């Protein structure tokens, strides 16, 4: 579980996050949603420790990352897996080497065990063994995301962060990635935080959703609460689409 | 006045960031196994792959310098062997140790800056950090160690090839006899000149790799910014090589 308490963050005197307090639960897909520029990526990066918050607390099962030294943050990061928006696979390594990388850095396994674990992770995300020896640039965007998920889970993380996992993907592949993230969250009982503004994702997998608007937490709830909520910020965001407006109107009838 | 102050603040900020980055770079690697795997690869990529251009440039410079020296120093007071002597000392003292490093700053420096800069803008460096890897040490240290260790090889190779070029002129033309040329390159040889060239190459190798890595590491934005970082890396490492060359020459020759 990750608890964020009274988090503030500014850049060059401009406040980007204002007094954010929320909780990301274990075994659930926690989503940070909001418009582009609302501050959700900054919230995620402050939560991970890539940006240092101006004030407030981010408690990883009781451990406050904001007060940690660089070495302590590094140690905590070994319990964290992350899927980046652009996958962030290492160009100079093959698909298999990318997944083996964290194991080679931080595990005491033999080379054989490392390879076996990496292959297991890749098969878990349905990557064909033919692709193991390919470079990241030789596989599709959807496959790159799946390889990045395999790399993120290689060290059995307690916390998984996904920054816009569906960006640049077609709707079918997006659903595959969403389902994969949800399955892995439950299978490994990890705290997953997904940064998204994709409505399909939100309605498919959002167990615990935090809406950020202009740097403030505007709403929190589950996907089942969305249609019944009369929160103005939420309605502005969700029902910006005519389709969802009609769905809500149909539901209220 | 205000502009000077702003520039000074920026200058010291840059020095501070560079020092901080080097502090992180020279901290203990997270995995020695990975370091020993990466270092020879970097040595091959930054050093061995540069041999081709070193061969071409050094040979031609040796040829041209020999021809120029013979044709522009027609003085009966000058001994015939002076061409070999001039070429040898010029190669060892300046061309192979300094000018060659300026050329390498262009090739190797832009390579390092654009590689690390691309990793920065595609979030690969963030990915390393989130995994708990010291990205500076993992990415930059093998490059610095690899290049610094390989630089003396390039400098010595360049000197020999320059001399070979000059020897080629002596052999294939009648500008100077081969005997005079060989006598010249052996005459009054001071072995410390070779030591000096090697010492300089260590410093210049460090400047090229660390300064280029610095500009790549702090690149942000898009492809254009990586290009800008690459240009800054080449320009600034060249300036630093020229400045440190004055200081090193002063120290070493005294």
Cα–Cα distance measured from residue B42 to residue A135, given in angstroms and rounded to the nearest whole number: 19
Cα–Cα distance measured from residue A47 to residue A206, given in angstroms and rounded to the nearest whole number: 19
Check if A74 contacts B (Cβ < 8 Å).
yes
pLDDT-derived band at A86, boundaries 50, 70, 90: confident
Contact at 8 Å (CB) between A217 and A20? yes
Same domain, A100 and A75: no
Q: Look at A91 and B118 and tell me if their CB atoms are within 8 Å.
A: yes
For all residues of chain B together, what is the average pLDDT? 92
pLDDT of residue A244: 66
For residue B240, pLDDT over 90 is answered with yes
Q: Picking from A188-192, A247-251, B5-9, B234-238, which range would have the lowest pLDDT averaged per residue?
A: A247-251
Q: Is the dihedral of CA A222, A226, A227, A232 positive or negative?
A: positive
pLDDT of residue A245: 66
Same domain, A34 and A142: no
Given B31, B127, B132, which is nearest A78 (Cβ)? B132
pLDDT-derived band at A164, boundaries 50, 70, 90: confident
Which residues, 6+ apart, have CB-to-CB distance to A247 below 8 Å? A227
Same domain, A62 and A167: yes
**Is this complex scored with an ipTM above 0.95?**
no
Q: Which of B119, B130, B134, B143 best tests the A interface by mutation, with the highest count of A CBs <10 A?
A: B130
Residue percentage of chain A with pLDDT more than 90: 43
Same domain, A1 and A75: yes
Other CB atoms within a 10 A radius of the CB of residue A128 amount to 12
Which of A136, A156, A176 finishes a domain?
A156
pLDDT-derived band at A241, boundaries 50, 70, 90: low
Same domain, A5 and A40: yes
Task: Please give the average per-residue pLDDT across B50-78, as a whole number.
Answer: 90
Long-range contacts formed by A243-248: CB under 8 A, 24+ apart: A244/A199
Same domain, A5 and A74: yes
Which range of residues forms the domain containing residue A115? 87-156
Q: For residue B73, list its beta bridge partners.
A: none
Residue in this structure with the two tokens 């002076």, named with its chain if needed: B82
For residue B39, pLDDT over 90 is answered with yes
Contact at 8 Å (CB) between B190 and B85? no
Same domain, A61 and A126: no
Q: Look at B132 and A74 and tell me if their CB atoms are within 8 Å.
A: yes
Which residues in chain A have Cβ-Cβ distances shorter than 8 Å to B30? Answer: 105-106
pLDDT-derived band at B223, boundaries 50, 70, 90: confident
Q: Which residue of A has its CA nearest to B29?
A: A105
Same domain, A19 and A132: no
Residue A126 lies in a domain: yes
Which of A135, A156, A177 finishes a domain?
A156
Same domain, A122 and A164: no
Check if A64 contacts B (Cβ < 8 Å).
no
Contact at 8 Å (CB) between A107 and A114? yes
Token pair belonging to A149 = 């998920």
Q: Which residue of B has its CA nearest to A47?
A: B130
Highest mean pLDDT among A93-97, A241-245, A249-253, B80-84: A93-97
Given B122, B132, B134, which is nearest A106 (Cβ)? B132
Which of A130, A156, A182 finishes a domain?
A156
Q: Look at A77 and B130 and tell me if their CB atoms are within 8 Å.
A: yes
Other CB atoms within a 10 A radius of the CB of residue B72 amount to 8
Residue percentage of chain B with pLDDT more than 70: 100
Task: Please give the average per-residue pLDDT across A53-62, as a whole number.
Answer: 92
Given A50, A86, A90, which is nearest B130 (Cβ)? A50
User: pLDDT tens for residues B98-155?
Assistant: 899 999 999 999 999 999 999 999 999 999 998 889 999 999 999 999 999 999 999 9
**Closest among B203, B190, B189, B205 to B253, alpha carbons compared:** B190
Helix (H) or strand (E) holding A31: strand A29-33
Q: Look at B33 and A104 and tell me if their CB atoms are within 8 Å.
A: yes
Given A84, A89, A105, which is nearest B133 (Cβ)? A105
CATH of the domain at A193: 3.40.50.300
For residue A248, pLDDT over 70 is answered with no
For all residues of chain A together, what is the average pLDDT? 88
For residue B48, pLDDT over 90 is answered with yes
Q: How do A2-11 and A14-24 pair as beta strands?
A: antiparallel
Size of interface A-B (CB pairs under 8 A): 57
Check if A48 contacts B (Cβ < 8 Å).
yes
Domain count, chain A: 2
Crossing angle between the packed helical segments A111-124 and A141-153, to the nearest 10 degrees: 130
Q: Which residue of B has its CA nearest to A107?
A: B31
> A157 to chain B, minimum CA–CA distance in Å?
10
Q: Look at A74 and B123 and tell me if their CB atoms are within 8 Å.
A: no
User: pLDDT tens for residues A121-148?
Assistant: 998 888 999 999 999 999 988 889 889 9
Highest mean pLDDT among A122-126, A180-184, B211-215: B211-215
Same domain, A10 and A107: no
Same domain, A16 and A110: no
Which residues, 6+ apart, have CB-to-CB distance to B24 below 8 Å? B134, B136, B137
User: What secondary structure, in 3-state letters, does chain B show?
Assistant: CHHHHHHHHHHHHHHHHHHHHHHHHCCCCCCHHHHHHHHHHHHHHHHHHHHHHHHHHHHHHHHHHHHHHHHHCCCCCCCCCHHHHHHHHHHHHHHHHHHHHHHHHHHHHHHHHHHHHHHHHCCHHHHHHHCCCCHHHHHHHHHHHHHHHHHHHHHHHHHHHHHHHHHHHHHHCCCCCHHHHHHHHHCCCCCHHHHHHHHHHHHHHHHHHHHHHHHHHCCCCCHHHHHHHHHHHHHHHHHHHHHHHHHHHHHHHC
Token pair belonging to B53 = 């251009």
Q: For residue A220, list its beta bridge partners.
A: A210
Q: Look at A104 and B30 and tell me if their CB atoms are within 8 Å.
A: no
Same domain, A164 and A75: yes
Beta strands of A97-230 (E only): which ranges? 159-163, 191-196, 208-213, 216-221
pLDDT of residue A24: 93
| Secondary structure of residue A103 in the 3-state scheme | helix
Residue A29 lies in a domain: yes
Cα–Cα distance measured from residue B167 to residue B155, given in angstroms and rounded to the nearest whole number: 18
For residue A75, pLDDT over 90 is answered with no
The whole model's pTM is what?
0.86
């Amino acid at each position: 579980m990750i608890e964020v308490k009274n988090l503030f963050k500014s850049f060059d005197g401009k406040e980007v996050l204002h007094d954010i307090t929320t909780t990301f639960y274990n075994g659930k897909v926690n989503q940070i949603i909001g418009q582009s520029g609302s501050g959700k990526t900054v919230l995620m990066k402050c939560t991970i420790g890539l940006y240092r918050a101006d004030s407030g607390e981010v408690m990883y099962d009781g451990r406050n990352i904001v007060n940690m030294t660089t070495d302590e943050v590094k140690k905590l990061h070994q319990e964290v897996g992350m899927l980046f928006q652009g996958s962030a696979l290492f160009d100079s390594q093959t698909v298999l080497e990318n997944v083996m990388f964290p194991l080679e850095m931080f595990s005491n396994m033999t080379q054989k065990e490392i390879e076996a674990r990496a292959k297991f992770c890749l098969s878990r995300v349905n990557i064909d063994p033919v692709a193991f020896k390919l470079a990241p640039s030789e596989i599709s965007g959807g496959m790159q995301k799946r390889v990045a998920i395999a790399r993120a889970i290689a060290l059995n993380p307690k916390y998984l962060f996904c920054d816009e996992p569906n960006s640049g993907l077609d709707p079918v592949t997006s659903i595959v990635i969403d389902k994969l993230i949800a399955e892995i969250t439950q299978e490994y009982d990890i705290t997953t935080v997904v940064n998204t503004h994709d409505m399909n994702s939100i309605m498919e997998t959002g167990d615990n959703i935090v809406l950020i608007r202009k740097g403030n937490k505007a709403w929190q709830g589950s996907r089942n609460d969305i249609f019944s909520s009369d929160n103005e910020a939420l309605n502005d965001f969700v029902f910006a689409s005519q389709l969802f407006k009609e769905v809500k109107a149909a539901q209220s009838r | 006045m205000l502009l000077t102050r702003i520039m000074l603040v920026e200058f010291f900020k840059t020095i501070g960031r560079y020092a901080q980055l080097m502090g992180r770079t020279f901290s203990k690697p997270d995995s020695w196994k990975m370091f020993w795997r990466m270092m020879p690869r970097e040595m091959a990529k930054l050093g061995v792959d540069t041999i081709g251009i070193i061969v071409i440039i050094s040979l031609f410079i040796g040829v041209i310098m020999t021809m120029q020296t013979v044709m522009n120093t027609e003085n009966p007071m000058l001994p015939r062997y002076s061409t070999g002597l001039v070429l040898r000392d010029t190669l060892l003292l300046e061309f192979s140790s300094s000018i060659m490093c300026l050329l390498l700053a262009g090739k190797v420096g832009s390579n390092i800056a654009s590689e690390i800069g691309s990793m920065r803008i595609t979030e690969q460096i963030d990915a390393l950090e989130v995994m708990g890897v010291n990205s500076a040490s993992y990415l930059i240290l093998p490059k610095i160690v690899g290049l610094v260790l390989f630089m003396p090889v390039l400098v010595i190779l360049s000197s020999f090839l320059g001399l070979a070029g000059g020897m080629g002129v002596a052999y294939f033309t009648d500008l100077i006899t081969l005997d005079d040329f060989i006598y010249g390159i052996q005459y009054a040889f001071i072995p410390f000149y070779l030591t000096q060239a090697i010492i300089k190459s260590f410093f210049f190798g460090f400047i090229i790799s660390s300064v280029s890595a610095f500009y790549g590491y702090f690149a942000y934005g898009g492809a254009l910014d990586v290009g800008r970082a690459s240009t800054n890396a080449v320009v600034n490492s060249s300036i630093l090589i020229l400045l440190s060359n004055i200081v090193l020459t002063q120290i070493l020759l005294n």
